[in-house]
Structure 1
Amino acid sequence: MSNLAYDASADIEAASETEIAAMRELRPVPRISIQAFCETESIAAPIERAAADRRMSKAHLKVHMGGIGTAIEFYQSAQTPNLIIVESRDEPKQLIATLSRLAEVCDPSSKVVVIGHYNDVWLYRELIRFGISEYVVAPISMADILSVISSIFVDPQAEPIGRSIAFIGAKGGVGSSTVAHNVAWSMSTLFSSEVVVADLDLAFGTANINFDQDPTQGIAEAVFSPERIDETYLDRLLAQCAERLSLLAAPSMLDRTYDFDAEAFTQVIDVAQRTAPLLVLDVPHIWSGWSRSVLTQADEVVITATPELANLRNTKNLLDTLKKLRPNDAPPKLVINQAGVPKRPEISPSDFAEPLDLTPMAVIPFEPALFGNSANNGRMLGEMDAQHAVVKTINEMAHVLTGRSELKAKKKAGLGDLLERLKRRK
């Protein structure tokens, strides 16, 4: 029996736009064990790709080549997992008989999903009556697999999980935190939506200054006492910044070091997502196990960069790495900040974006007076000048990141645009 257990170092085919859209609303799968027994590579491949998805990070999925017969032999001496996925090319009556033999060696609590090659209503009804959790007709996609697993193990009556958006700078000092805080404020005011901002830079975080807050507790208490974290405890740690905006502030002190393991922020993020529909994660410009984990698990990633060569290199490295870590998600959004600094040689936005194969979500010009006054007064840009062009850009970003509008590529002016203008004049 060959074992195709997922190898994280292997190259995984990226999901199509259709699959990404289909999986956008899927919730994370709980900590369960899954084993699949496949007869064909066309079924094994999407299941292996599903194992690499961030929504399956808590689950343990192993793929074996061989159908129901292999599963029966395997479970003669092995304990059955929470979910068994089997592929069978048997005709309907033979399939029912083979599954009866599988039931003899399976724990009654184990769920079973059958992937068959016959689109037969009688077969489907018989399998459901037999106790099979789901019957799926081949061919299948990775999105199909994730959807089936989610439908079995995720309670449809459970409260919805908030959307997490992680902001990180391609370099330190590019304004990623300022962009994150202002986008969060815009989301809370434009859409009357509850938003939580989590400042993950425990040593040097600026969210407390930007929001003019001085809380005695914050994210440090949550991270250093993960066993205490629940919605009630988290609510005590939140500082109210606006009517619908709350902050998990960083201590911004150097009285101790902040060395964390890779999953240090997982618990607090999970709980925070249950308390608000939008969670903005202000990730510092570092590369560690925990920052890598936060970026991998976020629903959306936003990279802020200034139009310089080192920023371009770092942005490219981040994009390439996150594509491997998040093969089934859309690429991160790009924000070019501080464009047009006087006398500074810089890369034009179009030249910056071209090697990245990304359309910037926003290009924010260098406006030292607006940003300086905002920072020094502890107020958001929208509070300083609601009609400013930069504020309107921030609002557009809020629409894109909440799915209320789409990022549209801007076409370069050319012959087609000229012809369109001439037509309108007639």
Structure 2
Amino acid sequence: MVMNNLAYDTNPDGGDAAQQDVAAMSAMRPVPRISIQAFCETDSIAGPIERAGEDRRMAKAHLKVHMGGVATAIEFYQTAPTPNLIILESRSEPKMLLQSLQELSEYCDPSSKVVIIGHYNDVGLYRELIRSGISEYVVAPISMVDIVSVISSLFVDPEAEPIGRSIAFIGAKGGVGSSTIAHNIAWSMSTLFSSEVMVADLDLAFGTANINFDQDPAQGIAEAVFAPERIDEVYLDRLLAQCAERLSLLAAPSTLDRVYDFDPEAFAQIIDTAQRSAPLLVLDVPHIWSGWSKNTLMKADDIVITATPELANLRNTKNLIDMLKKLRPNDGPPKLVLNQAGVPKRPEISASDFAEPLGITPMAVIPFDPLLFGNASNNGRMLGEMDAKNPIVQIINDMSHVLTGRSEIKSRKKAGLGGLLGRLKRKK
């Protein structure tokens, strides 16, 4: 374990620190299905641990927080089995702490890991604890990020094959072009960076990925979602349609032969398996609000909302952003794409006025070009295949750089609110 765990510098209110925390959390992988019990002496330690349990990366783990330190844990485990991980806060001085841990060891299963949160920044104590079999020693104060980081370092195998990054695309309204943007960005990432990309069309009834990529596979995502017991990397590979050299597709059946009602976890296993098969997974999420669509957005590594510059789109985008902030409090905000800007004779909201009440800068503003998009759609081709030098193709490529972490969104000067929120409230 690295020694700098002894001196965490936590500043939950600092802007730079908050940005660093978001970046650190973004790089962490989901914690597996483990049981965790924490025994805390102070609310300042119990609070961050409880918040860690609410983070999406901890969704599979079962975390229980008890008030009371090592003495409470000793009493508790005299009659209860020990979990995969025990987190203990202790304000005792080093000698007393070591004695109490020796007593606790009589009731602990040898396979259980133990993390101590102490109040003494003592290198000698750290070494003695590690020598005694303690997995990690962290000095208070701690943050929620510290907790998730420590747990991740203990249970996410650094030698394991990395899990692919998932990017979920959803439209603020139907017909705003979210699927088209998703498919073109997937194609762009696969060609620009020579990276394996998988597209999963989650709109089983009306999905358009098969049309946009000119594919007609006999099987697709429906076979996986209706037979979850069969899902593994080999089975998933048989369901993929190859769209380009490094681009594959889990196509939707796009038929109405059955009703597509799913439970909230219906796509979770498919997505987990797909992330082990490709470094980049593009999730084309339909414009619906259900248990499974909410769950898919909550667990995605990144989210892109596509909207057109009009009032209903602004209302829906703000609702989505506000809800995602609650669901993903430790992640950065979703990315915003304004599509179909500049439709002739259509009154619309400027990009700056649209962004102001949302508090985020659009990742891209894509102008209205029915000829380019129409020709690409009717021919089953991507925009880059139709006209590689078109400025819109360059915008798509720029977004691919941002979503893969190769560049950042350029900040723009904010404009006035223009009374938009007031108009939204009046229309409710």
Q: TM-score, normalised by structure 1?
A: 0.92
Q: 1:139 aligns with which of 138, 141, 154?
A: 141
**What does 1:175-254 align with in structure 2 at a 5 Å threshold?**
175-254=177-256
1:160 aligns with 2:188: no
2:66 aligned residue: 64
- Determine helix, strand or coil for the equivalent of 1:222: helix
How much does 1:76 deviate?
2.2
Distance 1:140 1:412 in 2: 35
Distance 1:334 1:127 in 2: 48
Give yes or no for contact 2:352–2:414 (8 Å, CA) kept in 1: no
Cα displacement string for residues 202-252 of structure 1 (whole angstroms, at most 9, x for unaligned residues):
000000000000000000011111111111111111100001000000000
Distance 2:176 2:279 in 1: 27
Higher alpha-carbon deviation: 31-40 or 188-197: 31-40
State the AA in 2 paired with 1:201: D
Distance 2:367 2:320 in 1: 23
1:321 aligns with 2:319: no
Distance 1:144 1:385 in 2: 48
Distance 2:303 2:44 in 1: 31
State the AA in 2 paired with 1:178: T
1:259 aligned residue: 261
**What does 1:95-114 align with in structure 2 at a 5 Å threshold?**
95-114=97-116
Give yes or no for contact 1:166–1:302 (8 Å, CA) kept in 2: yes
- Determine helix, strand or coil for the equivalent of 1:215: coil
Q: 1:89 aligns with which of 88, 91, 103?
A: 91
Distance 1:81 1:369 in 2: 61
Q: 1:380 aligns with which of 377, 382, 389?
A: 382
- Determine helix, strand or coil for the equivalent of 1:30: coil
How much does 1:63 deviate?
1.2
Cα displacement string for residues 1-49 of structure 1 (whole angstroms, at most 9, x for unaligned residues):
xxxxxxxxxxx99992111111222111010110111111221121111
Distance 1:411 1:129 in 2: 55
Give yes or no for contact 1:38–1:63 (8 Å, CA) kept in 2: yes
State the AA in 2 paired with 1:187: M
2:3 aligned residue: none
Q: TM-score, normalised by structure 2?
A: 0.92
Paired-residue identity, %: 80
Q: 2:314 aligns with which of 298, 309, 312?
A: 312
Distance 1:346 1:408 in 2: 23
Distance 2:180 2:255 in 1: 19
Cα displacement string for residues 187-213 of structure 1 (whole angstroms, at most 9, x for unaligned residues):
000000000000000000000000000
**What does 1:26-41 align with in structure 2 at a 5 Å threshold?**
26-41=28-43
Give yes or no for contact 2:356–2:414 (8 Å, CA) kept in 1: no
- Determine helix, strand or coil for the equivalent of 2:20: helix
Give yes or no for contact 1:19–1:142 (8 Å, CA) kept in 2: no
1:7 aligned residue: none
- Determine helix, strand or coil for the equivalent of 1:109: coil
Distance 2:47 2:414 in 1: 40
Distance 1:77 1:367 in 2: 69
State the AA in 1 paired with 2:148: L
Stretches of structure 1 lacking an aligned partner (at least 5 in a row): 1-11, 414-426
Higher alpha-carbon deviation: 130-139 or 14-23: 14-23
Q: 1:126 aligns with which of 128, 132, 137?
A: 128
Distance 1:62 1:73 in 2: 16
- Determine helix, strand or coil for the equivalent of 1:275: coil
2:421 aligned residue: none
1:54 aligns with 2:56: yes
Q: 1:23 aligns with which of 1, 22, 25?
A: 25
- Determine helix, strand or coil for the equivalent of 2:107: coil
Distance 1:215 1:295 in 2: 26
1:352 aligned residue: 354
Matched residues, number = 402
Give yes or no for contact 2:351–2:365 (8 Å, CA) kept in 1: yes
How much does 1:72 deviate?
1.3
How much does 1:412 deviate?
6.5
Cα displacement string for residues 40-75 of structure 1 (whole angstroms, at most 9, x for unaligned residues):
122112111111111100001111121111111222
Distance 1:105 1:238 in 2: 50
- Determine helix, strand or coil for the equivalent of 2:27: coil
Deviant stretches of 4+, over 3 Å: 12-15
1:369 aligned residue: 371
Distance 2:54 2:146 in 1: 14
